[in-house]
Amino acid sequence: MKALSKLRGEPGLTLGEVKDPVMGRHEVLIKVLRTGICGTDLHISAWDHWAQSVIEPPLVLGHEFVGEVVDVGGGVSDVKAGDLVSGEGHLVCGKCRNCMAGRRHLCIRTIGLGVNTNGAFADYVVLPESNVWVHRIPIDLDVAAIFDPFGNAVHTALSFPVMNEDVLVTGAGPIGVMAAATARHAGARSVVVTDLSPYRLELARKMGATIAVDVSQEDLADVMTANHMKEGFDVAFEMSGQAKALASAISTMSPGGRIAILGLPADDVSVDLATVVTRMLTLKGIYGREMFDTWYAMSVLLENGLDISPIITHRFGYEQHEEAFAVAASGRCGKVVLDWTTPSIPQATP
């Protein structure tokens, strides 16, 4: 089968033929239709310090996908050939304390699809039945392909009650924008999104942000005053991984405020614990999705009218992977999707 792989410990990826995956008992064989490009994939392609410390070539990349089930192994009971599915990319042990307690997203032995084992940038991928999510309602294939990052956004946005609250989102990357849209859909009074990219701030506005703020040009305190906020934000989502963004969130929270942190910093971050303590703030780390509470919430949100399709700004055929990765790395985009059913998709002239 064709696959997009990291064959050697150097920058770049290779589209070529690899062996078909072998399906075992309790596993599902899936024909891949669409995949989303994640920041993790960009790190692996660039072969940066993180990738060098984690990845063992050869490896087929990819963990954001939608596909059609073509076969199931022995013991599979709830998934059948022909089902349209996405996949939970965190493969867990099922035996540790958290797995046994039903908290699989906290498994201490989690391995990543397309990171620690061959992934979905290929004609076919194999997953345990327990990691397969069957789409029971009609859904656009491109949207289904990004259920993984949409899950990160929903997990973050619903970590704390947001109805009637003033919400701050620091970082207007695709996950931050989807989290903002989710919070607004869930009844937040206001959703203020901050970033430095005019392109992504405009995308945040398009997706329903009440206010989108370029913090290099505008003071967040002025925005709060204009929005009739006297005591600070009630809830914040830190999505950027930037120390200044976390500091800004902490300094603008109302007493008792709650901050969900998804952004991964590249370096150590100093936290103003005095403010955290004296304002009695709650800081919560977010990683991945709750299995499968978040997935259920995603489907219900879409069924009840949340539209995340504008976050998908670029689509390419699988032979255009170099151009697709360049666009994804540029930052002037939302989510970038690869179509594994066609080699090339004509691109609009800028």
Q: What is the pLDDT of residues 33-54, one digit of tens each?
A: 999 999 999 999 999 999 999 9
64 is in an annotated binding site: yes
Q: Phi first, then psi: give them for residue 257, nearest 5 degrees.
A: -65, 160
Read off the pLDDT band of 348 (50, 70, 90): confident
Instruction: Locate the DSSP E strands across the chain.
Output: 2-6, 14-17, 27-36, 59-60, 64-72, 84-87, 90-91, 111-112, 124-128, 132-134, 166-170, 190-195, 211-214, 233-238, 253-261, 282-285, 312-317, 335-339
333 is in an annotated binding site: no
Structure token pair of residue 60: 């087929």
For residue 271, the tally of other CB atoms under 10 A from its CB is 12
Res 349 pLDDT > 70: no
pTM: 0.96
- 79-119 pLDDT, tens digit per residue, is 999 999 999 999 999 999 999 999 999 999 999 999 999 99
pLDDT, position 334: 97
Res 350 pLDDT > 70: no
Report d(CA 68, CA 17) in Å as an integer.
21
pLDDT, position 81: 98
Report d(CA 339, CA 140) in Å as an integer.
13
Structure token pair of residue 136: 């029971």
263 is in an annotated binding site: yes
33 is in an annotated binding site: no
200 is in an annotated binding site: yes
Structure token pair of residue 37: 């490009």
For residue 302, the tally of other CB atoms under 10 A from its CB is 22
pLDDT, position 230: 87
286 is in an annotated binding site: yes
pLDDT, position 308: 98
Residues 6+ away with beta carbon under 8 Å from 52: 9
Report d(CA 206, CA 163) in Å as an integer.
21
CATH number of 154-285: 3.40.50.720
Res 266 pLDDT > 90: no
287 is in an annotated binding site: yes
- 296-310 pLDDT, tens digit per residue, is 999 999 999 999 999
For residue 9, the tally of other CB atoms under 10 A from its CB is 11
Determine if the peptide bond prior to 346 is cis (ω within 30°).
Answer: no
Structure token pair of residue 335: 């989510």
Report d(CA 202, CA 177) in Å as an integer.
10
- Identify the CATH class of 2-146+308-339: alpha beta
Res 21 pLDDT > 70: yes
Delimiting residues of CATH 3.40.50.720 domain(s) in the chain: 154-285
Structure token pair of residue 252: 């603008």
User: How would you class 101 by CB atoms within 10 Å of its CB: exposed for 0-12, middle for 13-18, buried for 19 or more?
Assistant: exposed
Given 43, 117, 135, 313, which residue is catalytic? 43
Delimiting residues of CATH 3.90.180.10 domain(s) in the chain: 2-146+308-339
* Residue 313 is among the residues annotated as catalytic for this protein: no
264 is in an annotated binding site: yes
pLDDT, position 41: 98
pLDDT, position 124: 98
- 143-188 pLDDT, tens digit per residue, is 999 999 999 999 999 999 999 999 999 999 999 999 999 999 999 9
Q: Do residues 160 and 101 touch, judged by C-beta distance below 8 A?
A: no
Q: What is the mean pLDDT of residues 279-300?
A: 97
Query: In whole numbers, what is the pLDDT of the chain averaged over residues?
Result: 96
Indicate the helix (H) or strand (E) that contains 338.
Answer: strand 335-339
* Residue 40 is among the residues annotated as catalytic for this protein: yes
Given 40, 182, 210, 252, which residue is catalytic? 40
262 is in an annotated binding site: yes
pLDDT, position 227: 87
